[in-house]
Chain A
Amino acid sequence: MKDQMMKKNKKSSKKGFLFLGLVIVGFALITILVPEKSPLILQTSFDYFKQMAMVFPAVLILMGLFTVWVSKEFVMTHLGESSGIKGIAVAFFLGAIPTGPIFIAFPMAQALHKKGASYTNIVIFLSAWACIKIPQELMELQFMGAKFMLARLGMTTVFITLMGIIINKLMNTEKEIEVKI
């Protein structure tokens, strides 16, 4: 069993490297075909890398601490299936506090999932992270105006919650089917 899991892990990390290789080949092709685009691509990638490198190690350690110290019961009562409206509020709050780019959120979502957070709350957490981050809303207020920002914020909040509930249903029915088989 453990052997099988190790094999699976190795296989999936090979896939990761394969993908990285493909992207690098793609970049090399672009550099050959449209060399004038290459500096902007490198600059943007580098900016992103810097931005990420400054917070990512901290986020990973926080995740490690979270995995070791926070009990499954705690996550389940606050973000689990029966956490209700309070769980939704916690998920929105965790997503909206300013923390960094979206790809940091995925490993965090995985950690929450392993500890028993419901799919509803994970979807809300990820979506809130993606589109109602507090600094982002301030930019929206400044450039799009208060009416636009408030209307979009209100609708996004409602629809994100609905989506969370729908995805939770979809994921859980599939689990039931798998169990029956």
Chain B
Amino acid sequence: MKTVILINGLVIISLIISFSKDKMKTKKSIMIALKTLGKIAPSILSVIMLIGIMYGLFADKIALFFGQENGVIGFVSIALFGSVLHIPALLAFPLAGSFLQEGASISSVTAFITTLTMIGIVTLPLEIKTMGKKFAIYRNLISFAIALIIAALMGVIL
């Protein structure tokens, strides 16, 4: 909530300063904001809807994945699951903490958290729309590789 007030306050102050300095430029920036909104609104609405669907269908199945944790295949499937799933990171940590207490390995929990936050299959359409197909594919693929490396290293260190 504090963040919301902070951001909106900041923007209102910026708008006032901008308006007092140059009315035309301020008008133009609002036009840019509206245009961008029009362009990405359908993508954003689909992403929000998809997140709801993912969460509704799979949230109670996460524990199942960690229960069957075995070897490389289990490890990679947890990472894949984290990539497809999209739940707020703030909710993910209590969840991940409970898996750790129930005996899940550090590597698999790390793989889950890292892919969950860094990779967004759900947000991919939006990423492609704003940054281009090549960029989005590179970023998500390399992020996946990195998540596996970080997870493996965490298992060795801790």
Q: Which chain A residues have a beta carbon within 8 Å of chain B's beta carbons?
A: 9, 12-13, 16-17, 19-20, 22-24, 26-27, 30, 34, 37-38, 40-46, 48-49, 52, 54-69, 98-103, 106-107, 109-110, 113, 119, 122-123, 126-127, 130-131, 133, 135-136, 139-140, 142-144, 147-148, 151-152, 155-156, 159-160, 162-163, 166-167, 170-171, 174
| Assembled-state Cα–Cα distance A24/B50 (Å) | 9
| Assembled-state Cα–Cα distance A64/B19 (Å) | 13
* Interface contact B43-A65, CB-CB below 8 Å: no
The number of chain B residues with a CB under 8 A from chain A is: 76
Q: How far is the CB of A167 from chain B (nearest CB, A)?
A: 5
Quick one: given A30-B57, A63-B33, A139-B90, are A171 and B134 in contact (CB under 8 Å)?
yes
Answer yes or no: B64 CB below 8 A from chain A CBs: no
A18 to chain B: closest residue by CB: B42
Answer yes or no: B45 CB below 8 A from chain A CBs: yes
Q: A58-B10, A122-B131, A163-B142 are in contact. List 18 more A-B contacts (CB 8 A).
A: A27-B53, A30-B56, A43-B52, A45-B53, A48-B51, A60-B34, A61-B11, A61-B30, A68-B32, A69-B25, A101-B88, A103-B44, A103-B123, A127-B139, A130-B117, A131-B118, A135-B90, A159-B150
Q: How far is the CB of B100 from chain A (nearest CB, A)?
A: 7
* Interface contact B36-A64, CB-CB below 8 Å: yes
* Interface contact B7-A16, CB-CB below 8 Å: no
Please list the 3 inter-chain residue pairs (A to B) with the smallest Cβ-Cβ separation, ordered nearest first: A45-B52, A64-B29, A41-B56
State which residues 18-46 of B face A: CB under 8 Å: 18, 25-26, 28-34, 36-46
* Interface contact A98-B3, CB-CB below 8 Å: yes
| Assembled-state Cα–Cα distance A41/B41 (Å) | 20
Answer yes or no: B97 CB below 8 A from chain A CBs: yes
Question: Which chain A residues lie closer than 8 Å to B134 at the CB level?
Answer: 170-171, 174
A20 is contacted by which of B45, B93, B96 (Cβ under 8 Å)?
B45
The A contact surface, by secondary structure, is: helix
A147 is contacted by which of B10, B52, B59, B158 (Cβ under 8 Å)?
B158
Answer yes or no: B70 CB below 8 A from chain A CBs: no
Quick one: given A99-B7, A130-B117, A151-B154, are A19 and B131 in contact (CB under 8 Å)?
no
* Interface contact B114-A41, CB-CB below 8 Å: no
Question: Which chain A residues lie closer than 8 Å to B117 at the CB level?
Answer: 130-131, 136
Question: Which chain B residues lie closer than 8 Å to A147 at the CB level?
Answer: 158
